[in-house]
């Protein structure tokens, strides 16, 4: 099941805003999908499977297949996949897209008590956004041994030197996440 993409507009201040009804329906569709998948496994696995479906949407669009969901109180408040090509924006990583959507949806820039599920270990830029948004927990799939910033190459969110630290849980459905990336790059060669 694929969930429809969000339709965002940028207001005169440069902030994103969403059609509330469409956005609410879209997020509720993610919640329904997670509930459906949870019948076959754990909540965390259901969320990561949904993030993998989001990543697959990116692959179909020719983007590197990484998907992310932001949850608060076990409800999806933001979702995204990599979109730097489509958006002509080098910062449009899945995590950034999902964080922007969650902030716009809630009308605030802090996402305290939120959790981010992402199919690939976040990079330095994305960990910076996670810290600035005050996201409490990050669950990721595959390690990124070239650019990972939550333990693989760097450990930015947990080293205690910043004003916010992040609980990190890696390796959730890592094989499936890594396989999706491998297949994408194999098809490009």
Report, as residue numbers or ranges, the catalytic residues.
Answer: 95
Q: Which token pair is 151? A: 């333990």
Q: For residue 187, which of 68, 71, 62 has the smallest C-alpha distance?
A: 62
C-alpha angle 172-71-47 in degrees, rounded to nearest 5: 35
91, 141 Cβ separation under 8 angstroms? no
- Cα 155 from Cα 127, distance rounded (Å): 9
For 167, list phi and psi in degrees, rounded to 5: -80, 130
């Amino acid at each position: 099941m694929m969930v429809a993409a969000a339709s965002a507009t940028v207001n005169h201040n440069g902030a994103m805003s969403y059609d509330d009804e469409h956005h609410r329906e879209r997020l509720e569709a993610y919640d329904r999908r997670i509930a459906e998948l949870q019948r076959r496994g754990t909540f965390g696995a259901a969320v990561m499977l949904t993030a993998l479906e989001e990543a697959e949407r990116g692959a179909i669009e020719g983007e590197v297949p990484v998907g992310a969901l932001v949850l608060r109180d076990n409800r999806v408040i933001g979702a995204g996949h990599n979109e730097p090509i489509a958006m002509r924006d080098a910062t449009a990583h899945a995590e950034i897209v999902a964080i922007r959507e969650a902030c716009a949806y809630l009308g605030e820039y802090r996402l305290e008590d939120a959790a981010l599920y992402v199919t690939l270990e976040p990079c330095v830029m994305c960990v910076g956004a996670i810290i600035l948004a005050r996201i409490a927990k990050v669950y990721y799939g595959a390690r990124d041994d070239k650019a990972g910033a939550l333990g693989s190459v760097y450990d930015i969110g947990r080293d205690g030197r910043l004003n916010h630290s992040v609980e990190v849980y890696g390796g959730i459905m890592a094989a499936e996440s890594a396989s999706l990336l491998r297949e994408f790059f194999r098809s490009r060669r």
